Structure formats: C-alpha cells, structure tokens
Structure 1
C-alpha cells in the first residue's frame, strides 16, 4: 500500500483511539479562556470531513461539507461514526490505485485529521485528560 494511504489510515486510527480512550464527560469539555468548541464538536468536524472528503475522492472534486453525526455528546454514536468512516475510507483506498486518486484531496484529508490531533492535544492538556498509548508513541505527549 502506498505510504500516503498508510499515513491517512494511521491518522484516522489515532483519532479513533483518542475518542475510544476518553470518557463520555470529556465530550462537553472546552479550552477555558479562549474561543473554543467542545471535544464532541471536534468529533463532528472530523466525522463530517471524513465523509465529505470520501465523497470528494470518489468524484475527484470537492462537493461540500456534510456530516451524519446527529449528537456530538453521544460517545457511542461518535465511536460508531468514527469506525464507519474509517472502514469506508479504508475500503475505498484498497479498491483504487494511487494513480487514480486526486492526491490533493487525499492530502487535504490527512492534513485535516492531523490538524485536529493538534487541537485535541491542546484540549487534553487544558483539561488534564490522559492520552491513549498510541498517542504517547506517535506524538510523545
């Protein structure tokens, strides 16, 4: 598998690990004293981007943002949507050659996911949330 595909799946997996690791109450947490949405609302953006970039990758152009997550405070639903979007992207990447992919869209997806990792690191530090082991290994947090 191409390195770009591997890195996308690695980033998606790390996000999934973070949300599996935190408890339900963390979804409502913000970063105090700065403009901030919640950790759950971060999941809404992540899931929506995964769904929207996959749609864009299938047609080789951006087609707008949509998100099927209906409750950003429901950890069970967030986990289901994270797993679903991971599986859908993984299947798409397995079924297509890298030459057939709009690499700009794939890189945009990777950048978006990793940008949220940086945000989630700030949320975790601000709220004294411990990181999953995979994050300690990947980011030395």
Structure 2
C-alpha cells in the first residue's frame, strides 16, 4: 500500500508539472470569465505553497501553516523551476521515509490538494481554449 500511495502522489505532481510546462507564459494571466476566479499563475502559487507547506509538516510532524516561496505568479520559468524543486524535494523525502513515518493525513491532504487543482486547471483550460499536454489526455481523457 505504501508504494501505491507514494506512486499516486508522484503521479499527481508530475501531471501538474506537465501542465505548467505545456502552457505558454501568457496563459498564466488567464482567468475563467464571468465567475469568481484567480489566474492560472495564482493557481501555481497555491500548488507550490501547498507542496512546500506539506513537506514542512511531514518533516516536523505537525501543520505549521501555509507558506510559499514563489515570488512571481506570472513568470513561467520561475514557476516551472519551483514546481521541479518542490517535486524533487517531495520525491527525496518519500524515498527516505516510509508511509508509517509520515502523518498519513498530511500525505492524503497533499494528494487531494494537487488533484483538486487538476480539476480547476481543466476548467481553466476549457474556458480559455488551452490544449492539454498528452499526459493529461491519457490520465483524464480531456
């Protein structure tokens, strides 16, 4: 079971990374019109901050609040760099620790958070006529 949960977390992180690698920098400023909406770039801010905050919670064993090191939600290069960095940091942590050593609620919260953003990003893509990366077509049949 440990392996499956870890694989699903890493799959979700990879899919998010693929989406942001695939889109162009102008897409980061797009919103969903006619509904309350932040931008695609601001979605990345939340994703990166959650990855950083949950990793901190894994390490210290308790939730210590949300923090995000992303300083510019319109900079595609920076966003992709932060996504890669947080993904790598989580991979390393999961390789070095068994699920039994990690608060399972935090791990499931991270997975749920990442996948919830996938649903949001699907809506953003449809609303703004953005094509999906191949990995998303395979995983979500979009």
Interval containing the TM-score (normalised by the shorter chain): over 0.9
Deviation at 1:45, TM superposition (A): 0.2
**What residue in structure 1 maps to residue 32 of structure 2?**
31
Task: Name the count of aligned residue pairs.
Answer: 141
Question: What's the RMSD between the two structures over aligned residues?
Answer: 0.6
Deviation at 1:97, TM superposition (A): 1.1
What is the CA–CA distance in structure 1 between the aligned matches of 2:75 and 2:17, rounded to whole Å? 14
Structure 2 SS opposite 1:2: helix
What TM-score, normalized by structure 2, do the two folds share? 0.98
What is the CA–CA distance in structure 2 between the aligned matches of 1:37 and 1:129, rounded to whole Å? 16
**What residue in structure 2 maps to residue 48 of structure 1?**
49
Q: How do 1:3-14 and structure 2 match up within 5 A?
A: 3-14=4-15
2:60 matches 1:59 = yes
Q: Which runs of 5+ in 1 are unaligned?
A: none
Q: Which runs of 5+ in 2 are unaligned?
A: none
What TM-score, normalized by structure 1, do the two folds share? 0.99
Deviation at 1:98, TM superposition (A): 1.3
What is the CA–CA distance in structure 2 between the aligned matches of 1:108 and 1:98, rounded to whole Å? 14
What is the CA–CA distance in structure 2 between the aligned matches of 1:97 and 1:118, rounded to whole Å? 29
Summarize deviations over 1:40-91 as a string: whole Å, max 9, x none: 0000000000000000011121100000000000000000000000000000
Structure 1 SS opposite 2:93: helix
Summarize deviations over 1:100-133 as a string: whole Å, max 9, x none: 1111000000000000000000000000000000
**What residue in structure 2 maps to residue 120 of structure 1?**
121
